[in-house]
Structure 1
Amino acid sequence: MSNRRITFFIALALFAQESTWNFYDNQVPVLLREHLASAALVGALMGMDNLLGIFVQPWIGNRSDNTRTRWGRRIPYLAVGMPLAALVFVLLPWTTSLATLVAVMFCYALIANTTRPLAESLVPDFLPPERRGRANAAVKIATALTIIVASLISLLVVDEHPKAAFVLPSVIMLAATVVLLANVRDSRSRGYQAAVAEDAAAGPAPAGPALRQIVAGLVTDQDRRRLLLLLTVLLFGGAWFASRSLITPYGMEALGLSRGEAGGLTLPSGIAYVAAAYPAALLAERFGRLRTIAAGMIVFAAALAAGTAAQTATGTVVAFCLASVGAAAFTINAAVALWNLAPSSRVFGAYTGLYAVTWYLGGFGGPALIGAVVDLVGWDGMLLYIAALAMLAVLVVVRLGRLQRLHRAARATTLNGSE
């Protein structure tokens, strides 16, 4: 299967998954606000899916790494998880109490978290290192389109049909599952074939390393680059998810917009992200991934800080457009940087899961932290608080860049000495 063709199918799978997640971030906070007055509690409950991801995603990633079937190691799980997640998602607006709403949120998050790292892991499975950046850009463009989809549903459907609106993302998920299963078997991928070859070389114990071994290797390795990269992901994930999870109540409380209008604030930023995604991959190839990541986070923080000064609906839309351009530079390149540091094709799924752990751990803590600050000092400065969190991530990646330069210098010295 050609690189472009497999990239399309991976993008379709992630588009379907993120269609439900983005609509979830847009509209479930409003469902929670019907039962809760505290922004901190709303933020914490909205981060529950990310907390579950901390446990589920690395586990399912590692489990899929060690799965061997004629369909491959990722597709069997996607074939079950995606339809189940779609069916549970439809139930969210039909809940009648906080307890039932939280229970359905938990079920949806638990099932959907099993599919997230698997579709992403298909990128390093099928594509060689030199093509992963551009392929990941194409995949992220597809997922960014879901921001537009969620915003359009909010603008055009939610105010008139608040329950029926949840059906649309579910239908997208089910349709994409059918297309994916009809066309993709990851048993044919480079990564799967390499893992099978490594299994054969390992002798009578063909299973790959356990998750605890992989984590222990990360922690004990004297090379701290992977840990610093994951810390950067943690901090910026907190800033990103806070900006997404709390934007609808921010628009209603600080800008005086209706629920549908506030949910639509992110629509233009989705277009900006799409426009910036592929150039972000090209810039990383030219100037380096870490420099591109750092520059993107600075743009993200500066844009949101400026949005605090221009606190109108128009000013917020412009700020989110610029912030999304910066975020694209991070999201396109951070996962690729971690994949390229992986020691073996047998751990791609686990590394994707660990990336997700730190990203969604930030997604759990970020909205709760920013929501707590909002409870103390009000909604007006929310964008500035998010910008401060993003700048902490910039400081970490600067340190990571220094280690990367030292590593390259040491490797060059070793190579010259061996000649």
Structure 2
Amino acid sequence: MSSLAAPAERRLTRRITFFVALAVFAQEATWDFYDAQVPPLLREHIASTAIVGLLMGMDNLLGIFVQPWIAHRSDNTRTRWGRRIPYLAVGMPLAALLFTLIPLTTALPALIAVIFVYSLVGNSFKPIAQALLPDFIEPERRGRANAVVKIASGLTVVVSAVISAVLVDDHPKLAFTVPALLMLVCTAVLVSRVRDNTSRGYRLALTEDTDDEPPQRLRELARDILRDRDRSRLLVVTAVLLFASAWFSSRSLFTPYGMETLGLSRGAAGSLTFPSGIAFLVAAYPAALLAERIGRIRTMTIGMTVFGTSLALGTLVPTPAVTVVSFCVAAAGASGFLINAAVVLWNLAPSARVIGVYTGLYTVSWAAGGFVGPGIVGAMVDITGWRYMLLDIAVVTALATAVILRVAVLSRRRSVSL
């Protein structure tokens, strides 16, 4: 790369990173608020917590089917706007409109119908914005860009909490319009400033289109991963699912752990995870820089080891102060995995024509882990008791670490740097 091209490349990287982070921020702001405020709406009609939980898990279940399909569709879309932007230009405003309708429904069937359609539309563009990163950005710079996107996603928890505190009690319907307006504004900025028909990935896809090979079907892409003798791609997807199981378990089961083991009230137990959220945001960008120096697989391995070890040590002294420190160190370690896992999958993609599918693979395996993980760890807790929940999560983390170590062995055999 010439001395003149390098600054231009860095400017493009910063520009695309900003716009993708903006889009992901808008999407996640609505999802965080959805997770926080839709359960109380359902509770007005449904007494069973199990049914409420089932309805709230509907978006994850839909995502498992919708996201790979729509990502594959976007990979094979060719327009003067590119292959990603058309889906975002239509999907995000439609999702914003549906989001504002959620608190306006008064009957349970209408409420369920609206949240179903919102979940369907919201999942239809969830992996597409993030797929813009590998479309535009060179492999060696993707980690930094993904770190910025993860930071933007993490900040939405704060935004959702502020909206809930300021508006929900007095203006519950108005509160839903704020995340929707954020999405509309961010969509307008993204669509007016980005055309991915100029991206490196889109141009490579057009070049590959001229080879007279028809696009692979989604089923064929899945079969290629399953039958590949190298197994690296399948192992990375498996590691994402396992680590997601550990991560979501540490979040969703923490409040009852704090009540049962630490002797805290419900509110006090729920608030203990806030410092660890800050620790994750602080560690995200350094995790990307570390990966550029020592490799992504090694950084992921170190991060998972820190995550599991910290939780295991937290089991030894079950006090609130030690638990907070344990979770802060664990969250910082988790950033090593969370920032780099998607980048590894992007870099393992065999063609620029399937980047969207590989982004969908990451988001689906992450969502699947979030769906099954708390149940698996919950079953372990039934056997070991709440006192050893953090150790149970560490065991699941150890399985994910073992899978990634296998990927490291395979990459060394092929002399491939991941």
Please state which band the TM-score falls in when normalised by the shorter chain. 0.7 to 0.9
Q: Does 1:3 align with 2:10?
A: no
- Residue of structure 1 equivalent to 2:359: 352
1:178 paired residue among 188, 191, 200: 188
Per the TM alignment, residue 159 of structure 1 is displaced from its structure 2 partner at its CA by 5.9
* 8 Å contact kept, 2:280–2:332: yes
Q: Does 1:18 align with 2:28?
A: yes
2:264 paired residue among 233, 255, 272: 255
In 2, the alpha carbon distance for the partners of 1:267 and 1:93 equals 28
Q: What amino acid is aligned across from residue 2 of structure 1 in structure 2?
A: L
Give the secondary structure class of the aligned counterpart of 2:211. Answer: helix
Q: What amino acid is aligned across from residue 394 of structure 1 in structure 2?
A: T
Relative to the length of structure 1, the TM-score reads 0.85
- Give 5+ residue unaligned stretches, structure 2: 1-10
1:364 paired residue among 358, 371, 392: 371
Residue identity (%): 60
Using the TM superposition, name which of 317-326 and 270-279 deviates more: 317-326
* 8 Å contact kept, 1:277–1:332: yes
* 8 Å contact kept, 1:148–1:268: no
1:298 paired residue among 259, 280, 305: 305
In 2, the alpha carbon distance for the partners of 1:33 and 1:322 equals 36
Instruction: Describe how 1:308-387 pairs up with structure 2 within 5 A.
Output: 316-371=323-378, 382-387=389-394
Q: CA deviation digits over 1:339-380, x for unaligned, max 9?
A: 111111001011111222211111211133345556777766
In 2, the alpha carbon distance for the partners of 1:338 and 1:346 equals 14
Q: Does 1:219 align with 2:226?
A: yes
Q: What amino acid is aligned across from residue 234 of structure 1 in structure 2?
A: L
Q: Does 1:143 align with 2:143?
A: no
1:192 paired residue among 171, 192, 202: 202
Q: What amino acid is aligned across from residue 79 of structure 2 in structure 1?
A: T
In 2, the alpha carbon distance for the partners of 1:308 and 1:107 equals 42
In 1, the alpha carbon distance for the partners of 2:68 and 2:414 equals 27
Q: What amino acid is aligned across from residue 404 of structure 1 in structure 2?
A: S
- Residue of structure 1 equivalent to 2:75: 65
- Residue of structure 1 equivalent to 2:4: none
In 1, the alpha carbon distance for the partners of 2:143 and 2:403 equals 22
Per the TM alignment, residue 25 of structure 1 is displaced from its structure 2 partner at its CA by 3.7
In 2, the alpha carbon distance for the partners of 1:105 and 1:346 equals 32
1:408 paired residue among 392, 411, 415: 415
In 2, the alpha carbon distance for the partners of 1:393 and 1:10 equals 28
In 2, the alpha carbon distance for the partners of 1:166 and 1:310 equals 42
Give the secondary structure class of the aligned counterpart of 2:210. Answer: helix
* 8 Å contact kept, 1:301–1:391: yes
* 8 Å contact kept, 2:58–2:116: yes
Instruction: Describe how 1:267-286 pairs up with structure 2 within 5 A.
Output: 267-286=274-293
Over 3 Å counting, the alpha-carbon distance change for 1:265 and 1:327 in structure 2 is same
- Residue of structure 1 equivalent to 2:60: 50
* 8 Å contact kept, 1:61–1:118: yes
Over 3 Å counting, the alpha-carbon distance change for 1:301 and 1:132 in structure 2 is same
Q: CA deviation digits over 1:15-38, x for unaligned, max 9?
A: 111112233344555666674565
Q: CA deviation digits over 1:137-187, x for unaligned, max 9?
A: 122221122233234445555566665544332222222111111111111
Per the TM alignment, residue 383 of structure 1 is displaced from its structure 2 partner at its CA by 4.1
Using the TM superposition, name which of 367-376 and 233-242 deviates more: 367-376
Using the TM superposition, name which of 192-201 and 223-232 deviates more: 192-201
Q: What amino acid is aligned across from residue 106 of structure 1 in structure 2?
A: F
Per the TM alignment, residue 256 of structure 1 is displaced from its structure 2 partner at its CA by 1.4
Using the TM superposition, name which of 62-71 and 249-258 deviates more: 249-258
Give the secondary structure class of the aligned counterpart of 2:78. Answer: coil
In 1, the alpha carbon distance for the partners of 2:102 and 2:184 equals 17
The structure showing larger relative contact order (alpha-carbon pairs under 8 Å, at least 6 residues apart) is 1
Q: CA deviation digits over 1:176-219, x for unaligned, max 9?
A: 111111111111111111111211232xx6x5221111111111
Q: Does 1:167 align with 2:180?
A: no
In 2, the alpha carbon distance for the partners of 1:154 and 1:262 equals 19
Q: What amino acid is aligned across from residue 369 of structure 2 in structure 1?
A: G
* 8 Å contact kept, 2:301–2:404: yes
* 8 Å contact kept, 1:44–1:368: no
Aligned length: 404
Relative to the length of structure 2, the TM-score reads 0.85
Q: Does 1:242 align with 2:249?
A: yes
Over 3 Å counting, the alpha-carbon distance change for 1:284 and 1:126 in structure 2 is same
- Residue of structure 2 equivalent to 1:392: 399
Q: Does 1:86 align with 2:96?
A: yes
In 2, the alpha carbon distance for the partners of 1:28 and 1:379 equals 28
* 8 Å contact kept, 1:147–1:266: no
Over 3 Å counting, the alpha-carbon distance change for 1:152 and 1:111 in structure 2 is same
Per the TM alignment, residue 266 of structure 1 is displaced from its structure 2 partner at its CA by 4.1
Over 3 Å counting, the alpha-carbon distance change for 1:372 and 1:90 in structure 2 is farther
Q: CA deviation digits over 1:206-248, x for unaligned, max 9?
A: x522111111111111111111111001111122223344556
Give the secondary structure class of the aligned counterpart of 1:201. Answer: coil
2:86 paired residue among 73, 76, 81: 76
Per the TM alignment, residue 283 of structure 1 is displaced from its structure 2 partner at its CA by 1.1
In 2, the alpha carbon distance for the partners of 1:310 and 1:164 equals 45
In 1, the alpha carbon distance for the partners of 2:271 and 2:161 equals 5
